[in-house]
Structure 1
Amino acid sequence: MDKNQFSGGSYNNWERPIEQSTVSLNEGFVAKYITKVYGWMFLGLALTAVVAFLVASNEAFLISILKFRMLLFIGQLLMVGYLAVRINKMSSATATAIFLGYAALNGLTFAVLLLMFPPVTLMAIFGITAGTFGIMTAVGYFTKQDLTSFGRIMMMGLVGIIIASVVNMFMGSESLYWIISYVGVAVFVGLIAYDTQKIKAYAYLDSEEARKKGAIMGALALYLDFINLFIFLLRLFGGRRN
Structure 2
Amino acid sequence: MAFILRRPLAITATLRQTAPSVSSRAFHNTPLALKQQASFFTPKAPTLSSSRNVTRFRSSFRRSYQQSAYNPLAHGDARQRLLYGAGIFGATLVGINLIFNRETREDGGMPEFERRYLNDTFLHTGLGIGIIGITARALHMNGWSFRLMSANPWLVLGAGLVGSIGTMYATMATRPENYVQKYALWTGFNVTQALLLSPLFFMHPAILARAGLYTVGMMGSIAFVGATAKQEKYLYLGGPLLAGVAVVALSGLAPMVIPATATRTLMWSENIWLYGGLAVFGGFTLYDVQKVLHHARLAERGLIPKDPVNESISLELDFLNIFIRMVQILGMQQRRK
Counterpart pick for 1:196 among 279, 285, 289:
289
Structure 1 runs of 4+ with >6 Å offset: none
Counterpart pick for 1:76 among 160, 164, 170:
164
> How many residues are paired up?
215
TM-score, normalised by the number of residues in structure 1: 0.79
Counterpart pick for 2:270 among 170, 177, 180:
177
Kindly state the Cα deviation for residue 151 of structure 1 after the two structures are TM-superposed. 2.8
For the 8 Å contact 1:55–1:108, the answer to whether it is kept is: yes
Partner residue in 1 for 2:329:
236
User: What's the CA shift string for 1:46-94, capped at 9, x where partnerless?
Assistant: 00000111011112x333344262323431133224445x356994543
Tell which structure's C-alpha radius of gyration is larger: 2
Measure the CA separation in 2 of the matches of 1:232 and 1:63.
Answer: 22
* Residue 133 (1) aligns with residue 228 (2): no
User: In structure 2, do the counterparts of structure 1 residues 191 and 209 end up closer, same or farther at CA, with 3 Å as the change threshold?
Assistant: closer
Spell out the pairing of 1:46-125 with structure 2 (5 A cutoff): 46-59=130-143, 61-66=144-149, 67=151, 69-70=156-157, 71-84=159-172, 86-87=173-174, 91-115=178-202, 117-125=203-211
The secondary structure found in structure 1 opposite 2:257 is helix
For the 8 Å contact 2:132–2:193, the answer to whether it is kept is: yes
Identity of aligned residues (%): 21
The secondary structure found in structure 1 opposite 2:126 is helix
2:246 is matched by which residue type in structure 1? V
For the 8 Å contact 2:174–2:181, the answer to whether it is kept is: no
The secondary structure found in structure 2 opposite 1:238 is helix
User: What's the CA shift string for 1:152-181, capped at 9, x where partnerless?
Assistant: 211210122112322332215122111221
Q: Root-mean-square deviation (CA), in Å?
A: 2.6
Measure the CA separation in 2 of the matches of 1:30 and 1:72.
Answer: 34
Q: Structure 1: where are the runs of 5+ without partners?
A: 5-25
The secondary structure found in structure 2 opposite 1:135 is helix
TM-score, normalised by the number of residues in structure 2: 0.58
Counterpart pick for 1:223 among 316, 330, 336:
316
